[in-house]
Amino acid sequence: MLKKLIIATIVLSSILWAKGVKPVENKLYKLECGSCHFAFQAGLLPERSWFKLMDNLENHFQDDASLDKADRELLVNYLVKNSSDKAYNYKRSRKMDRSISKKSVPIRITEVPYFIKKHRKVSQKIISQEEVKSLSNCTACHTKAQNGNYDDDYITIPNYGRWYD
Amino acid sequence: MEEIMKKRVILLLLPLGLFSATFNQDMQNYIDSLKTEAKRNSSNFMDFSSSRGEKIFNASSIGKRGKSISCSSCHNLDLTKNGKNIHTNKTLEPLAVSINQNRLTDVKNVKKWLRRNFKDVYVREGTALEKGDVLYYINSK
């Protein structure tokens, strides 16, 4: 009986309190939002940020990322359903979301206070090198970013090596 | 004997000059619509040209961001190799249809990227002639 209880607790807690961010499983999102850059997980920003971003795709950080109405709607629905404020069972989503003040509507993941805090020790030298270029290039160093895993254990920085914090 | 030899030689040489994958039906319909429009714009129009397309693809232009850019800046001068988005560092799969069978198969996708990328490089939509030439170029690799 006790064994079953322990197992049930472990299984339940791994569902209810997951590490990282929920990975992207939406094909349209991967295709449309992952063709020019890494497909950032929906759980990295709150709903209000996604609404703001998706409202101005013609000027998406200097690029035209406009979509037809139907696709745009599908993507907004997906993002809103999986935004950080809906994903508190995921550790990174919870931490990202809690660090943003209620009045703030960041559209850059790199401007979220929790993100800034976690990258504060990463030097300009590391960031500006050709293999990385910017902090928005997650997969340059986070080897399991595609899985929603941003743990230290899986960081390998180009021309630098493992990251020990 | 002479006539038969001639015919054999021609048949042998034909594939060398005319390599290109066949477009699927949807793409062919799109190409045909581009041809119609190109003909409407200029009665001299005969067919699209991959060598003209190559020039359009590799030519540098002051792009949307005010800096010099060409299609090949991201997609590589060699279409059989990976490209790289110069702004985000994201790897781009090869454009060449010989390497990547998905290329030039989805009309919606093709139209979207032609529209966006012409604007990125040439700060305007491509003409029907330019689009057709570029498609023929990609299709020839």
pLDDT tens digits for range A73-91: 999 999 999 999 999 999 9
> Does residue A72 belong to the interface with chain B, where contact is any CB pair within 8 Å?
no
Q: Please judge whether A140 and B89 are an interchain contact, meaning their C-beta atoms are less than 8 angstroms apart.
A: yes
- Global confidence as pTM: 0.82
Enter the DSSP assignment of A142.
Answer: B
The reported pLDDT for the residue numbered B18 is 47
**Predicted pLDDT of residue A18:** 83
Q: Best-predicted range by mean pLDDT among B7-11, B19-23, B46-50?
A: B46-50
Q: pLDDT (tens digit, 9 = 90+) per residue, A7-28?
A: 888 777 666 678 899 999 999 9
Q: Give the integer Cα–Cα distance in Å for B65 and B4.
A: 59
A49-62 average pLDDT score: 95
Contacts of A132 in chain B (CB under 8 A): 89
Q: Do B90 and A38 touch (CB under 8 A)?
A: yes
The model's confidence at residue B41, banded by pLDDT at 50, 70 and 90, is: very high
**Long-range contacts: A88-91, Cβ < 8 Å, 24+?**
A89/A15, A89/A16, A89/A17, A89/A18, A90/A18, A90/A19, A90/A20, A90/A21, A90/A22, A90/A43, A90/A148, A91/A17, A91/A18, A91/A19, A91/A20
pLDDT score recorded for residue B99: 94
pLDDT band at B1 (very low <50, low <70, confident <90, very high): low
Predicted local distance difference test score (pLDDT) of residue B9: 56
Would you say residue B16 has pLDDT above 60? no
Mean pLDDT of B58-87: 95
* pLDDT value for B15: 47
Are B65 and A62 within 8 A, CB to CB? Answer: yes
Residues 103-132 (A) with a CB less than 8 A from some CB of B: 131-132
Q: Which residues of B touch A63 (CB under 8 A)?
A: 87, 116, 120
Stretch B93-121: mean pLDDT, rounded?
Answer: 94
When pLDDT is averaged across residues A110-128 and rounded to a whole number, the result is 97
**Alpha-carbon distances of B140 from A114, B14, B76, B82, B83, rounded to whole Å:** 49, 15, 15, 17, 18
Low-confidence winner among A47-56, A121-130, B9-18, B55-64 (lowest mean pLDDT): B9-18
Q: From the CA of A148, how many Å to the nearest CA of chain B? A: 18
Chain B positions touching A62 (Cβ under 8 A) are 64-65, 87
Across chain B, mean pLDDT equals: 90
pLDDT tens by residue, B128-139: 999 999 999 999
In whole numbers, what is the pLDDT of chain A averaged over residues? 93
